[in-house]
Amino acid sequence: MPEIRNFSIIAHIDHGKSTLADRLIQKTGMVDERMFRDQLLDTMDIERERGITIKSQAITLPFVNADGQEFELNLIDTPGHVDFSYEVSRALASCEGVLLLVDASQGVEAQTLANLYAAMEHDLEIIPVINKIDLPSADIERVKEQIEIDLGLDSDLAVLCSAKKGTGIEDVLEAITELIPPPAGHIDKPLAALIFDAHYDPFRGTVVSCRVSSGKVSQGDTIRLMSTGATYKVEEVGIFRLTREPKDSLSAGQVGYILAGIKTVSDTRIGDTITLDSRPASNPLPGFKEVKPVVFSSVYPVASDEYQSLVDALEKYKLNDAALVYQKDSSAALGMGFRCGFLGLLHLEIVQERLEREFSQSIIMTSPTVQYRFLLTKGKTITIDNPIYYPDPVTIEKAYEPYIRANILTPERYMGAVMDLCTERRGIDSRFNCPTPGRLEIQFDMPLAEVIYDFYDRLKTVTQGYGSFDYDLLDYRENDLVKLDILLNGEKVDALAQIVHRDRARPRAIIACERLKDEIPRHLFKIAIQGAIGGTIIARSTISPFRKDVTAKCYGGDITRKRKLLEKQKKGKKRMKMIGSVTLPQSAFVAVLKSDSK
């Protein structure tokens, strides 16, 4: 029997996780050189296009060490962006150790720290790996110092490598086998397997990814999901190579998948424990911390008759993304839909794109917002995550919004720019810390609403890519919050409303009107766009109508060419949403929030 090691790679975004994973896969001979492509584990198109990892992926690598001992290394690749920390923590629950990757020229970043703490919480063995040592700007000594001081890890254990050049990969593999302990757990005990991921296969039903903590599960067994008590007959078990590879059984310590004809999507719950019906485990495994969404937005089908199809798509999607929460919702302008909670803006964007690509849904998403609290004159407190439910202003005693503590790491020279950005976003109570010479840790307390949009992008811009950002939710604080309505040709569009701080209402309204002017195509009629608080108009813009749009000649008998153009335009229009007499593209609904500074 080969020995098992379960490990994960964690790192700040862009420090080279996916590249290191690629090299480990290549080194262990898992893929033909012919079949190899970069970012091998990022199977979604959207991951490859954006060069980021969204979903954790598991793969089992066979490895024989220098002493000739056989190993089965289960690598769980994880996302790097702050929005997906949840994916990371779930992956960590299935491991005994991690490779903490640090870029040799960038050094320790905010997300490196956040990931390190997550790994410590799970009591995992941590191996620091310094990547990109081939870069001319690499400063290995400085990074080692950061590992000692900032991270409190033993820098002598750090493995040096260049995933891009393929140097040091052997050392990384040896370190995994030497330093990471084998999984505990007995094969003779009752089965307990933790579901850490799932996705829906139209032919096979739900594919459950799990890690077996104790016992053994084989084809033909009857399994029980401990939270619901539902039982299923196991059709197939196996491990993840590049595709699913069936095995006779999965036993304690192994990571793999189970197919059991689970057709009811909602039966599978991430964090649930699988046991055997005939010999159940006495207690379920500790599941995962429930994630709390921080950003909210509504999803509507473009065509109202596609509502049912959206219901099905969301159910199946949710299987593969436990962090998404949603409930029914309706809007005067957009009809029936869902109010969804997300972990952040990138998460929202990814959900939107995946629903469109993988589930062929044409959807409209409204501008994202946070959860607000209002103390009403009658003494009641209400919480709303949708501007539609903004209470009658005369009944509002006090208004509260969520605050975060932003942790920003940046080279000292960008201090001024970062300070400006944070104060512009209503940041207060700044603190500074100087972990290593030349680097600055800046803390700000800020309203969450100010960072959900493009704060991260703006931070990257003002620090020329060097700044990094992470945050913790703090508390709710009182503020003067008003509802900014948007009117199109005099008609209020509920889905375009937002809640803003009174002092910021006017500039925000002006921006929203300008953005909408850019996003809404010209019509045959003039379109007046207005921003209003209560009955007072505080901003406006106008879209002038078409004066002329006609082809002079219909090309003899070639009507086909003309019709094809019309068909294309018609299809484009179908993807837009009709509100009153105005057609709005999907982009308009989030455009109202876009940044003030270009």
Partner 1 sequence: MQNKQIQIEQDTPSHFPGLYVHVPFCRSKCPYCGFYSIASPTLIPRWLNAFKKEISHCKGHFKEFDSLYLGGGTPTMLDIRDLSNLMDQIFNNFDIAQDAEITIEANPCDLNREKAAAIKSLGFNRISLGVQSFEDNELSFLGRRHTARQAERAMKLLRSLGFENIGVDLIYGFQGQSIKGWINTLKRAIEFEPEHLSCYQLSIEKQTPFVRLYKKGLLSPLSEEMQSAFFLTTSKFLEQHGYTHYEISNFAKNNSFFSRHNRKYWHHVPYLGLGPSAHSFQNSTRWWNIKSVKKYCEMLEGGKAPIDGYENLTEEQLRLEKISLGLRTSQGLDLNKIPDSPESNNMLLRLQDSGFLQIINNKIMPTKKGFLVADQLPLYLLSFAEHS
Choose the stretch contacting partner 1; rule: CB under 8 A; options: 50-58, 89-97, 368-376, 543-551. Answer: 543-551
Residue 431 or residue 561: which is nearer to partner 1 going by CB? Answer: 561
Residue 312 CB, shortest distance to partner 1, in Å, is: 22
Quick one: tokens of 259? 């197919």
Instruction: Establish if 542 lies at the interface with partner 1 (CB under 8 A).
Output: no
| Spatial separation of the C-alpha atoms in residues 531 and 511, rounded to whole Å | 10
Residue 588 CB, shortest distance to partner 1, in Å, is: 16
Q: Three-state DSSP class for 499? A: strand
| Spatial separation of the C-alpha atoms in residues 557 and 570, rounded to whole Å | 22
| Spatial separation of the C-alpha atoms in residues 340 and 557, rounded to whole Å | 51
Instruction: Establish if 336 lies at the interface with partner 1 (CB under 8 A).
Output: no
Instruction: Establish if 547 lies at the interface with partner 1 (CB under 8 A).
Output: yes
Residue 68 or residue 557: which is nearer to partner 1 going by CB? Answer: 557
Residue 253 or residue 301: which is nearer to partner 1 going by CB? Answer: 301
**Cα R_g (the chain), whole angstroms:** 27
Site string for partner 1, 400-419 (x = CB under 8 A): --------------------
Residue 526 CB, shortest distance to partner 1, in Å, is: 10
Are 468 and 408 in contact by the 8 Å Cβ rule? The answer is yes
Site string for partner 1, 113-152 (x = CB under 8 A): ----------------------------------------
Q: What are phi and psi of 259, to 5 degrees?
A: -110, 125
374-377 contacts, C-beta under 8 A, 24 or more apart: 374/398, 374/399, 374/400, 375/399, 375/400
Residue 375 or residue 578: which is nearer to partner 1 going by CB? Answer: 578
Residue 289 or residue 574: which is nearer to partner 1 going by CB? Answer: 574
Between residue 42 and residue 61, which ones bind partner 1 under the rule CB under 8 A?
none
Site string for partner 1, 465-504 (x = CB under 8 A): ----------------------------------------
Instruction: Establish if 552 lies at the interface with partner 1 (CB under 8 A).
Output: yes
Residue 362 CB, shortest distance to partner 1, in Å, is: 12
- Tell me the CA end-to-end span of the chain in Å, nearest whole number: 59
Residue 432 or residue 525: which is nearer to partner 1 going by CB? Answer: 525
Between residue 520 and residue 539, which ones bind partner 1 under the rule CB under 8 A?
524-525
Residue 473 CB, shortest distance to partner 1, in Å, is: 40
Residue 444 CB, shortest distance to partner 1, in Å, is: 45
Residue 266 or residue 560: which is nearer to partner 1 going by CB? Answer: 560
3-state secondary structure 131-195: ECCCCCCCCHHHHHHHHHHCCCCCHHHCEECECCCCECHHHHHHHHHHHCCCCCCCCCCCCEEEE
| Spatial separation of the C-alpha atoms in residues 245 and 241, rounded to whole Å | 6
Site string for partner 1, 553-592 (x = CB under 8 A): xxxxxxxx-xx--xx-xx--xx---x--x-x---------
Residue 519 CB, shortest distance to partner 1, in Å, is: 18
Q: Which residues pair with 331 in a beta bridge?
A: 335
Between residue 205 and residue 234, which ones bind partner 1 under the rule CB under 8 A?
none
Q: How far is CA 222 from the centre of its chain?
A: 34
- Beta strand 125-131 with 159-160 is parallel
Are 199 and 319 in contact by the 8 Å Cβ rule? The answer is yes
Residue 66 or residue 524: which is nearer to partner 1 going by CB? Answer: 524
Residue 268 or residue 586: which is nearer to partner 1 going by CB? Answer: 586
Are 427 and 445 in contact by the 8 Å Cβ rule? The answer is yes
Residue 571 CB, shortest distance to partner 1, in Å, is: 10
| Spatial separation of the C-alpha atoms in residues 101 and 108, rounded to whole Å | 9
Residue 553 CB, shortest distance to partner 1, in Å, is: 6
Residue 266 or residue 551: which is nearer to partner 1 going by CB? Answer: 551
Name the packing angle between helices 345-358 and 307-320 (round to 10°).
Answer: 120
- Choice from 187, 303, 396, 533 touching partner 1 (CB under 8 A): 303
| Spatial separation of the C-alpha atoms in residues 74 and 501, rounded to whole Å | 49
26-35 contacts, C-beta under 8 A, 24 or more apart: 26/166, 27/166, 27/169, 27/170, 27/173, 28/61, 28/62, 28/63, 28/73, 28/173, 29/62, 30/59, 30/61, 30/62, 30/241, 30/242, 31/242, 35/242
Residue 577 CB, shortest distance to partner 1, in Å, is: 8
Task: Tell me, by CB under 8 A, how many residues bind partner 1.
Answer: 29
Residue 283 or residue 581: which is nearer to partner 1 going by CB? Answer: 581
What count of residues does the chain have? 598
Instruction: Establish if 551 lies at the interface with partner 1 (CB under 8 A).
Output: yes
- Choice from 328, 378, 548, 598 touching partner 1 (CB under 8 A): 548
Residue 303 CB, shortest distance to partner 1, in Å, is: 7
Instruction: Establish if 278 lies at the interface with partner 1 (CB under 8 A).
Output: no
* 24-to-28, 29, 59, 61, 158 alpha-carbon distances in Å: 6, 9, 11, 8, 17
Are 116 and 130 in contact by the 8 Å Cβ rule? The answer is no
Residue 585 CB, shortest distance to partner 1, in Å, is: 13
Residue 332 CB, shortest distance to partner 1, in Å, is: 16
Residues near partner 1 (CB under 8 A) are 303, 524-525, 546-560, 562-563, 566-567, 569-570, 573-574, 578, 581, 583
